[in-house]
Copies of this chain bind each other. A is one copy, B any other.
Amino acid sequence: MNKPLDGILIADFTHVMAGPYATHLLRLLGAEVIKVEAPGRGDAMRYYGADRRYDGMAPAFTAVNAGKKSVTLNLKNEADLAAAKELVARSDVMVENFRPGVIGRLGLGYEEMRKLNPDLVFCSVSGYGQSGPYRDWPAIDNIVQATSGMMSLSGTPEDPPMRVGFPVVDTLTGQTAAFAILAALLRRERGAGGGEFIDVAMLDASLAFMTSAVGPYLISGKPLQRTGNVGYSGQPTSAMFEAKDGRIVSLGVVQQYQFEALARFLKREDWLADERFADSEARRANATDMQEELGAEICKWNAAELEQAMSEAGIPCGMVRSVAEAAEFPHLKERKVRLPLDFPPLPGDPAPEIINAGFCMGGDGPGVSAPPPELGEHTAEIMEWLGRDRKNRA
């Protein structure tokens, strides 16, 4: 069996995170991704972070660029621009995340490229999209976390706005772009060929992701309440509690049968006879009492033991883990969620691994083992393949 995108070629003019994450997902599915970088420093992400030992191959760069090829091209140089056009002419997909208008001014806009390659799927990724009054506004993850309403959702109504602690907008935008590209490839494959222009905006993609919050506002005209650490259900039994060892557990009891299981598990069958707690409406009305009584039971247990015992009893319960602890869940290796890469670590570092695409397939599923490219590592190989004489280059 082949990977879904075996034989698909991606001309990748993206940098930093949202764009590279999109082409990373396509690479994991088997596409060949040729990353076009500026000579000199290349993708700024190569230098991400405070530890200068990694310069050129920062861990956050490795995480989303493994198995890609790198060609350095100065797109303001005529010969290099011609090479870029030839690359696009031979590709199935082109992805770029320059500020809107830049790629057109470089001479690589969709209208030009479709003439060279009518079957090209062309995807632009930007902050606010290629149209509309905000198209020229610059944006990065934490700007769109602010403008999209996302920061105003975390915490309680009294809290200041709170950033989601990882670049979730970059990631969700990248996955949205990759999803749209697969849709366009599928249409091309099912029909009579034909390319496509795809316009992915971080703002639009963020609102789509927040559909559980935006949707109720659009239908009812009423904004969702911020519920802090109480889950989306708004139920007092779907919240966080401190265990005996001081660690925090999250409970997710939202259905009546789960509440009954919880009461039995904690030997508090009296709750089932208590009219304050009889059903979910009553528990919502008596949320403070419910949380107080529940907290008093939970703090008799150590967190890890409670998580295991409750989970085995069918009661949704999770211990808050650090990222390091989460990454050590034993089944992640079994399920190939962690992928070892073929390159030597820096002295003192563990054998390098990255995270896979987040799903398993019965057949030849997502994965990669090749290292990320050094800047320009494949320039000679790719220029030769494009029929370009290296001496012509700046």
A343 CB to closest chain B CB, in angstroms? 10
Is A201 an interface position by the 8 A CB rule? yes
Q: Is the CB of A166 within 8 A of B131?
A: no
The 4 closest A-B pairs by CB, nearest first: A63-B215, A132-B331, A208-B358, A153-B165
Docked complex Cα distance between A248 and B145 (Å): 12
Name which of A191-199, A264-272, A385-393 contacts chain B. A191-199
A358 touches which one: B5, B185, B197, B205 (CB < 8 A)?
Answer: B205
Docked complex Cα distance between A97 and B176 (Å): 22
Query: What chain B residues lie within 8 Å of A330 (beta carbons)?
Result: 132-133
A222 CB to closest chain B CB, in angstroms? 8
Docked complex Cα distance between A166 and B201 (Å): 20
Q: Is the CB of B154 within 8 A of A197?
A: no
Docked complex Cα distance between A355 and B211 (Å): 6
Query: What are some 21 contacts across the A-B interface (CB < 8 A)?
Result: A29-B183, A59-B216, A63-B215, A133-B330, A138-B314, A139-B318, A141-B232, A145-B250, A146-B320, A154-B165, A162-B165, A165-B226, A166-B224, A172-B175, A179-B357, A182-B182, A204-B335, A207-B332, A209-B358, A210-B323, A223-B323
Is A375 an interface position by the 8 A CB rule? no
Query: What chain B residues lie within 8 Å of A214 (beta carbons)?
Result: 63, 323, 326-327, 355
Query: What chain B residues lie within 8 Å of A325 (beta carbons)?
Result: 149
A313 CB to closest chain B CB, in angstroms? 9
- Count this chain's copies in the assembly: 2
Docked complex Cα distance between A252 and B142 (Å): 7
Query: What chain B residues lie within 8 Å of A249 (beta carbons)?
Result: 146
Chain A 210-252 interface 0/1 with B at a Cβ cutoff of 8 Å (1 = within) = 1111111111110110111101111000111000000011101
Name which of A44-52, A74-82, A291-299, A376-384 contacts chain B. A44-52
Q: Which of chain B's residues has its CB closest to A199's CB?
A: B360
Is A356 an interface position by the 8 A CB rule? yes
Q: Is the CB of A218 within 8 A of B352?
A: yes
Q: A166-B210, A185-B186, A189-B190 are in contact. Are A134 and B311 (CB under 8 A)?
A: yes
Q: Is the CB of B152 within 8 A of A321?
A: yes
Docked complex Cα distance between A197 and B1 (Å): 13
Q: Is the CB of B252 within 8 A of A212?
A: no
Q: Is the CB of B215 within 8 A of A62?
A: yes
Q: Which of chain B's residues has its CB closest to A190's CB?
A: B189
Chain A 163-190 interface 0/1 with B at a Cβ cutoff of 8 Å (1 = within) = 1111110111001111110111111011
A167 touches which one: B137, B141, B232 (CB < 8 A)?
Answer: B232
Query: What chain B residues lie within 8 Å of A233 (beta carbons)?
Result: 48
New A-B pairs, 5, CB < 8 Å, besides A133-B330, A200-B360: A63-B214, A133-B331, A142-B250, A152-B323, A153-B323
Q: Is the CB of A186 within 8 A of B184?
A: no
Docked complex Cα distance between A59 and B217 (Å): 8
Interface centre among A196, A323, A348, A350, by most chain B C-beta atoms within 10 angstroms, is A323
Q: Is the CB of B183 within 8 A of A5?
A: yes
